[in-house]
């Protein structure tokens, strides 16, 4: 301050005769005893400030001057989490595609602080300034600091209830003088769905068959309750299909039915997704009965008691019927209506 001042003939003792007058309002001014002041702005201060000082000469004359301070604009932090990311529920160990890595997502935060430095990074209330993990609603977010860059990885650990769900994290950065910026990291969770696959069966003629329709189906991450969430859709036309409550249907053909038949069934997962498949039935050709009476036989009228040869047995004839029914059995044998 004293560099452009004039001491006068009586002189000014720099150690004793220079003093702070009116203090600044946006910082502190301290006299250094050598004609200089050290001005320290308060954290985040910006714009104009000032203070006064006095010099007193050897016989007590006083002069006052003002020091005007122009503070640089305070740096405001910014943060960009990089937009929404996504994971796939199907990739869970109990999902429909457990061999994939779809349960993982990663990215980086872009943070600027101007002339300041990062004071803290807090996610969902957890301080991860030096790195760390934060539990979300459906998974875990892990933050790593390396080379001044914050990166993250997210792992989905449980299934969700619904088709459009997400895990959200409130990310707050505070700079070294207390200014705050925030953004929200959203991890979208792609819902897993069940898959019912077509089946087929070829039962023997007029024979019921149990078909394990669920054996080749995929429940997905939300699960399928076999007792409650498998149901008959379109019924067969040549028989009946009854669900057994365990992933199987019993198909019973109508008597004499043959050729193609089919029915559909549905599976519904834990959050309401539905898949439908068709069961194709190939019925055996219906067996047609045959009968052969063995040709013409004969008796002799003379053998009657009042005939010319009553002692003979010529009034009798015998033979056998040859009957085939294929896979069926004989239902009845009627001769002349009896």
pLDDT tens per residue across span 311-327: 898 888 888 888 877 77
Same structural domain, 82 and 185: yes
Q: What is the mean pLDDT of residues 271-277?
A: 96
Residues 6+ away with beta carbon under 8 Å from 328: 205, 206, 287, 289
Same structural domain, 205 and 178: no
**Residue 150's pLDDT band (cuts 50, 70, 90):** very high
**Residue 159's pLDDT band (cuts 50, 70, 90):** very high
Phi and psi angles of residue 3, each rounded to the nearest 5 degrees, phi first: -60, -30
**Residue 198's pLDDT band (cuts 50, 70, 90):** very high
Same structural domain, 210 and 257: yes
SS (HEC) of 140-152: EEEEEEECCEEEE
Whole-model pTM? 0.68
Q: Which of 42, 71, 100 is the last residue of a domain?
A: 71
Question: Of 137, 156, 139, 164, which is closest to residue 272 (Cα–Cα)?
Answer: 164
Same structural domain, 84 and 119: yes
Same structural domain, 306 and 253: no
Residues 6+ away with beta carbon under 8 Å from 306: none
Alpha-carbon distances of 169 from 101, 120, 141, 250, 271, rounded to whole Å: 22, 16, 9, 50, 24
Same structural domain, 104 and 27: no
The pairs formed by 314-321 with CB atoms below 8 angstroms and a separation of 24 or more are 319/293, 319/294, 320/294, 321/291, 321/292, 321/293, 321/294
Assess if residue 2 is contained within a domain: no
Same structural domain, 208 and 269: yes
DSSP 247: S
**The predicted structure's pLDDT at residue 97:** 95
Same structural domain, 116 and 211: no
Q: How would you label 87-117 residue by residue, b for 16+ Cβ within 10 Å and e otherwise?
A: bbbbbbeebbbeeeebbebebebebebeebe
**The predicted structure's pLDDT at residue 231:** 98
Spatial distance between the Cα atoms of 206 and 327, rounded to a whole number of angstroms = 8
**The predicted structure's pLDDT at residue 55:** 93
State both tokens at 150: 């914050």
pLDDT digits (tens, 9 = 90+) for 87-123: 999 999 999 999 999 999 999 999 999 888 999 999 9
**Residue 3's pLDDT band (cuts 50, 70, 90):** confident
**The predicted structure's pLDDT at residue 232:** 98
Same structural domain, 143 and 218: no
End-to-end Cα spacing for the chain: 139
Residues 6+ away with beta carbon under 8 Å from 243: 230, 231, 232, 249, 265
Assess if residue 54 is contained within a domain: yes
Assess if residue 268 is contained within a domain: yes
**The predicted structure's pLDDT at residue 189:** 97
Expressed as residue numbers, the domain containing 140 is 78-190
Spatial distance between the Cα atoms of 249 and 319, rounded to a whole number of angstroms = 48
Spatial distance between the Cα atoms of 237 and 259, rounded to a whole number of angstroms = 11
Same structural domain, 243 and 264: yes
Q: Which of 167, 190, 213 is the last residue of a domain?
A: 190
Q: How would you label 24-38 residue by residue, b for 16+ Cβ within 10 Å and e otherwise?
A: bebbebebeeeeebe
State both tokens at 332: 């009845």
Percent of the chain with pLDDT over 90: 69
CATH number of domain containing 210: 2.60.40.10
Percent of the chain with pLDDT over 70: 100
**Residue 307's pLDDT band (cuts 50, 70, 90):** confident
Give the number of domains in the chain. 4
The mean-pLDDT minimum among 20-29, 174-183, 307-316 falls in 307-316
């Amino acid at each position: 301050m004293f560099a452009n001042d004039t001491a006068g003939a009586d002189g000014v003792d720099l150690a004793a005769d220079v003093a702070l007058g009116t203090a600044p309002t946006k910082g502190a001014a301290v006299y250094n005893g050598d004609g200089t002041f050290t001005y320290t702005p308060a954290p985040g201060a910006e714009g104009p400030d000032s203070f006064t000082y006095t010099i007193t000469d050897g016989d007590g004359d006083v002069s006052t001057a003002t020091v005007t301070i122009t503070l640089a604009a305070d740096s405001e932090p910014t943060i960009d989490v990089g937009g929404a990311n996504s994971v796939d529920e199907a990739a869970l160990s109990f999902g429909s595609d457990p061999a994939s890595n779809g349960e993982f997502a990663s990215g980086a935060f872009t943070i600027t602080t101007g002339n300041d430095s990062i004071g803290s990074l807090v996610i969902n209330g957890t301080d991860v300034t030096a790195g760390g993990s934060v539990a979300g609603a459906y998974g875990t977010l892990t933050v790593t600091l390396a080379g001044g860059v914050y990166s993250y990885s997210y792992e989905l650990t449980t299934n969700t209830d619904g088709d459009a769900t997400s895990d959200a994290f409130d990310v707050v950065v505070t700079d070294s003088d207390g200014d705050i910026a925030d953004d929200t990291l959203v991890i979208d969770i792609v819902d897993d769905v069940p898959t019912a696959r077509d089946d087929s069966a070829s039962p023997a003629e007029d024979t019921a068959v149990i078909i394990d329709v669920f054996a080749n189906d995929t429940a997905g991450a939300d699960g399928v309750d076999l007792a409650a969430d498998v149901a008959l859709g379109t019924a067969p036309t040549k028989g009946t299909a009854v669900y057994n409550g365990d992933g199987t249907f019993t198909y019973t053909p109508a008597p004499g039915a043959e050729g193609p038949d089919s029915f559909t069934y549905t599976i519904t997962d834990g959050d309401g997704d539905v898949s439908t498949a068709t069961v194709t039935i190939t019925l055996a050709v219906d067996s047609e009965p045959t009968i052969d009476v063995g040709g013409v036989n004969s008796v002799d009228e003379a053998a009657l008691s009042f005939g010319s040869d009553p002692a003979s047995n010529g009034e009798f004839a015998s033979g056998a019927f040859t009957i085939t029914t294929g896979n069926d059995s004989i239902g009845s044998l009627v001769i002349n209506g009896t």
